[in-house]
């Protein structure tokens, strides 16, 4: 199966989660989504990540982003793990976590750690790598990041990317290095001629290929 790339349609699947059964495409329901995977329950780095994502729930909600986790264990194990997560992070985790003990979803999303023969369960089935997918309301994959097991994910950076994608879709702009929401943006190369002044009356031409404009939305 070929690797999923940016621009691919996120595969649909049916799965059991800590909040009940879902059909993934129906669950998306015109929202943005983050799907992020974990190799195993009760792992130290992932425990801190899930707690942080839970605490960031209001930020995701403001951006119309649904969050769903995945771990290579069953739902009963997830439920026990969530108690630890809530205790350690002083939070109440409310988003679903997929039970993927048989790795069906991980296989569909090309998340199995096939290159490390030691990263397997008792049955010899590879665990998932720690992947983040950002999926838009059209079910298109817009971001894919894979992290090493040793490094916790930076979810405020993922929020920053979502801000960039959403404002880019709405206003035909891109964002420069280290950009933060509210800062100036770059006019997309497809905007040319009279459209430039019409859409961005206060723009600044630094080079013919680099044109800045004030942030067009609400910061």
- What is residue 148's predicted lDDT score, i.e. its pLDDT? 83
Distance CA 107, CA 98 (A): 14
| Mean pLDDT, rounded, for 136-150 | 93
pLDDT, one tens digit per residue, over 63-110 is 999 999 999 899 999 999 999 999 999 999 999 999 998 889 988 998
**How are beta strands 173-174 and 141-147 bridged, if at all?**
unpaired
DSSP string, the chain: -PPP-TTPBPPP-EEEETTEEEEHHHHHTT-EEEEEEESSTT-HHHHHHHHHHHHTHHHHHHTTEEEEEEESS-HHHHHHHHHHHHHHHT----S-EEE-TT-HHHHHTT-B-TT-TTSB-TTSPBPBPEEEEEE-TTSBEEEEEEE-TTS---HHHHHHHHHHHHHHHHHSEE--TT--TTS-EEE-TT--THHHHHH-TT-EEEETTEEEE---S--
- What is residue 122's predicted lDDT score, i.e. its pLDDT? 56
Distance CA 111, CA 105 (A): 8
Residue 129: pLDDT band by 50, 70, 90 thresholds?
confident
pLDDT at 118 over 60: no
- Mean pLDDT across the chain: 92
Supply the residues annotated as catalytic: 46
In our burial notation (b when 16+ CB lie closer than 10 A, e otherwise), range 13-47 reads eebbbbeeebebeebbeeebbbbbbbbebebebbb
Residue 6: pLDDT band by 50, 70, 90 thresholds?
very high
Superfamily, domain 172-213:
Antioxidant, Horf6; Chain A, domain2 (3.30.1020.10)
Residue 128: pLDDT band by 50, 70, 90 thresholds?
low
Q: Where are the domains of the chain?
A: 14-153, 172-213
pTM over 0.85? The answer is yes
CATH number of 14-153: 3.40.30.10
| Residue owning tokens 């040319």 | 192
pLDDT, one tens digit per residue, over 188-215 is 999 999 999 999 999 999 999 999 999 9
- Of 7-21, 93-107, 109-123, 157-171, the least confident: 109-123
- What is residue 130's predicted lDDT score, i.e. its pLDDT? 85
To the nearest 10°, report the CA torsion of 140, 143, 144, 145: -170
User: Which residue did the predictor score with more confidence, 169 or 128?
Assistant: 169
């Amino acid at each position: 199966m070929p690797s999923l790339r940016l621009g691919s349609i996120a595969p649909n699947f049916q799965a059991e989660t800590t909040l009940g059964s879902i059909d993934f495409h129906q669950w998306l329901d015109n929202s943005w989504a983050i799907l992020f995977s974990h190799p195993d329950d009760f792992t130290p780095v992932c425990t801190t990540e899930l707690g942080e994502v839970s605490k960031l729930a209001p930020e995701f909600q403001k951006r119309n982003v649904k969050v769903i986790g995945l771990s290579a264990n069953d739902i009963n194990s997830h439920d026990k793990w969530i108690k630890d997560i809530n205790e350690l992070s002083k939070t109440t985790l409310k988003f679903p976590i997929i039970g993927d003990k048989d790795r069906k979803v991980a296989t569909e999303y090309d998340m199995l750690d096939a290159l490390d023969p030691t990263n397997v369960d008792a049955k010899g089935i590879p665990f998932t790598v720690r992947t983040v997918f950002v999926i838009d309301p059209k079910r298109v994959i817009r971001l894919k990041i894979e992290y090493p097991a040793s490094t916790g994910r930076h979810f405020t950076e993922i929020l920053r990317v979502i801000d960039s994608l959403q404002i880019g879709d709405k206003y035909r702009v891109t964002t420069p290095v280290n950009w933060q929401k509210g800062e100036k943006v770059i006019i997309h190369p497809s905007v040319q001629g009279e459209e430039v002044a019409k859409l961005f009356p206060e723009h600044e031409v630094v080079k013919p290929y680099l044109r800045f404009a004030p942030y067009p939305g609400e910061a």
